[in-house]
Structures are given as structure tokens and as C-alpha cells.
Structure 1
Amino acid sequence: MPSNLYETDFYAWTLEQSKLLKEGDFKHLDIPNLVEEIESLGKQERRELESRLGILIGHLLKWHYQPEQRSKSWRATIREQRRAAQKLIGQNPSLKPYLTEIIADAYESGKDLVVGETPLDYEDLPQSCPYTPEQLFDPNFPTDLTPA
């Protein structure tokens, strides 16, 4: 295996590493890069949860601050992002202890979404996330989200 395969052909590197693992040839594994990639996979799950929550929070803020603009599209986005975030946490329960921190980071993205898509500005929005984790994952929140 070329020593620089990781840098020159990542896909080929992954195939080679997978083959070596299946064969139990641990002596030839590229341990430093394997460690880096495995750590990266974990970070990717956290980033995806943060992204989903940012979109969810942004749409909840729009729902709250612009009731006259509410649409089926907003409702669908809230449902979709909530469901995807719940699924991510279900598949990665070790993210739960970090939920408060992830929500705080996601709130900044949610505010950016609102400011970019509405006439609202940053000073029109709360300093920190006004939603509890329970509210973010409650399919009945806000109560006027579900059509009558």
C-alpha cells in the first residue's frame, strides 16, 4: 500500500483499510489516519444535529415572530427537522449530555436564518435560545403548529 494513498486517493485508501481490517492484517493498517477519520465521523454526527436544530430553531422563531407569514412550508420544515434531530439523538444517545451546548450553537445559526430570510434583525431576537430541549422535541409545540 503506498504510504501516501490517504492523501492521493482517499476512496482507494478506505477500500484498502477495510480490506486489511476484514483480513485481520492490523500490522499494515494506517492507524494515525484511521483514528483521525473515526474521530471525524463522531464530529460529523454532532455537526449534523447542530445543523438540524439550527434550521428547526430558525423556523420556530419565524413562526413566533411572523405569525402573518406562517405557511405549510414552515410547518413541514419544523416537523422534518424535529424528526431528523430526534432520529440523530436516537442513533447517537451519547450526544444527549451535550444537548444544551449544541442548542446554544444551533441558536446562532437559527438567528442567522431568521435575519437572512425576514425583515427581523438580531436585536429583535432573544439573546439566547428561548426554547427548552423539551419544547424543541415536542411535536405539539408550539400548540398552534398543528392544523385544527
Structure 2
Amino acid sequence: MRPNALDIANLAEGIEGFGESQRQAVESLVFRTVLHLLKLRCHPDQSARRGWQKEVDGFRDQLDVLFRDNPSLRAHRAAIAGET
């Protein structure tokens, strides 16, 4: 192998690992969003509502960034949400 040659197999593995990491981040954010939405709807302690809503808004913002930066994840978002 030449000194400046690309290690295609290693590069492909790195890209695949990055994609899996991003997918796991989406799964986590979807789970936390749903959990906080359930708290907002069902929990008797109404004093925590503002904090939960703020967190839901933040999770949604993070999801928007992940989907913007990883368009292939957007195409699979229903499947990802169904696995959480």
C-alpha cells in the first residue's frame, strides 16, 4: 500500500460507526421527548411543567439539527421512533 493511499475499509467502517452513533442519538432524543410529553400530559405535579416543556423544545431542536445534518436519518425517522 502506498503511504498516502486511503484505507477504504477503515474509512467505510468509520463512516458506518458515525452513522450508527447518529442513529442512536436520534433514538435517545425521541425516547426522551416522548417521556417528557407523557409527563406533561399525565403527571400530577404541575409545577414541573415549564421545565419539561423547555426540555421537549430542546430535544426537538437537537433532532432538527441531527436530521438536517443527516438527511438519510430523516428518511428512516418513523422506523427509528418505532424501535424506542
Question: Which of the five TM-score ranges fits, normalised by the shorter chain?
Answer: 0.7 to 0.9
Query: Is 2:30 the partner of 1:69?
Result: no
Query: Is 2:15 the partner of 1:60?
Result: no
Greater shift in the superposed pair: 29-38 or 56-65 = 29-38
Q: 2:10 is matched with which residue: 33, 37, 60? A: 33
Partner of 1:92: 70
Structure 1 runs of 4+ with >4 Å offset: none
Larger Rg: 1
Unaligned ranges ≥5, structure 2: none
Unaligned ranges ≥5, structure 1: 1-19, 107-148
Amino acid of the residue matched to residue 37 of structure 2? Answer: L
Cα offset, 1:97, TM superposition? 1.8
- Looking at structure 1, the residues matched to 57 and 40 of structure 2 have their Cα atoms a distance apart, in angstroms, of 13
Counterparts of residues 11-50 of structure 1 (less than 5 Å) = 25-26=4-5, 29-50=6-27
Cα offset, 1:73, TM superposition? 1.6
Greater length-normalized contact order (CA 8 Å, ≥ 6 residues apart): 2
Partner of 1:82: 60
